[in-house]
Structure 1
């Protein structure tokens, strides 16, 4: 399956975006556990290596510094998880990875990308808005939180425009 030319080598602080494989899951779990208060389990990540999923990693100097997990359903991409290692935050890794998955999803024929984001995650919401996402709904109690549950904003961006 052909990918955009950006797949070959990207020049964002020598960041390389590549498809991840099940053998990358230990490194993904390390980033996940440092990045989230309620991390996904190993079995959830392993379940994402199916034909209708895309699991991308952002690597710098051979080290995994971020990843994104998408599900493709008919002509719609759903960003299920995106995380950047705390040491690499604020360096543009998340923005570059998001732009990469948007371009790849469009290249693969997806018409839009949907995502959920915690209502308290103002940095991510700002990034998504900067990249053309708009809020289309709210999912009450979607995320686990320290004191119960937290709502999610549902955001969408059309692709190929």
Structure 2
């Protein structure tokens, strides 16, 4: 996506006051959403938690955990009605930058194979599949696998 077409955004540290808005998006976009407690625990544990705002509206968020040389993107989401407008790309680019600033050499994530939009975004950024976690995600019937993707943070991205 061209930089001139990217929406104007603010990327701000997530705090407890953001959680009502975050949860509205989380519940809307996921069949098995994180709870308020999951987000609060992430903030309190010192994970790098971010919100993305456009014209004051919270349109997405990301949660990144740092461990040794890796950054793990635990959750990245964009409001359903705001998807396809570059917010996911901005959040992903920001997560990669945060990982670099934390000293990580790679960014790791899991994604449902059925989340075709997300898989496409990650591939456009140069993420490579390194594995599959069998039965990782809850599903309406049984469980769904997770694709494990990684990106070396020193590499140029989309």
SS of residue matched to 1:129: helix
* 136, 139, 142: which one aligns with 2:136: 142
Structure 1 stretches of 4+ moved >6 Å = none
Contact 2:6 2:85 in 1 (8 A): no
Matching residue of 1:123: 117
Tell me if structure 1 keeps the 8 A contact 2:66–2:102: no
Distance in 1 between residues matched to 2:134 and 2:150, nearest whole Å: 17
Work out whether residues 134 and 144 of structure 2, in 8 Å CA contact, stay in contact via their aligned partners in 1: yes
What is the CA-CA distance between 1:100 and the residue it aligns to?
Answer: 1.1
| Map of 1:75 onto structure 2 | 69
Per-residue CA deviation, residues 41-90 of structure 1 (Å, 9 max, x unaligned), is 11111100135411011101111100001111112100001110011001
- Report if aligned partners of 2:72, 2:109 keep a CA contact under 8 Å in 1: yes
1:143–1:150 contact (8 Å) kept in structure 2: yes
Q: TM-score, normalised by structure 2?
A: 0.91
Q: Residue 84 of structure 1 aligns with which residue?
A: 78
Unaligned residue ranges in structure 1 (runs of 5+) = 1-10
Check whether the contact 1:66–1:84 (CA below 8 A) recurs between aligned residues. yes
Q: Distance in 2 between matches of 1:150 and 1:87?
A: 25
Q: CA RMSD in A?
A: 1.3
Shift of 1:14: 1.8
Which shifted more, 142-151 or 103-112? 103-112
Counterpart CA distance in 2 for 1:22 and 1:72 is: 20
**Which residues of structure 2 form unaligned runs of 5+?**
none
Aligned length: 151
Asked whether the equivalents of residues 63 and 75 of structure 2 are also in contact (C-alpha less than 8 Å), the reply is yes
Query: Residue in 2 aligned with 1:155?
Result: 149
**Does the residue aligned with 1:13 lie in a helix, a strand or coil?**
coil
Alignment check: 8 A CA contact 1:18 1:56 kept: yes
Q: What TM-score do you get using the length of structure 1 for normalisation?
A: 0.89
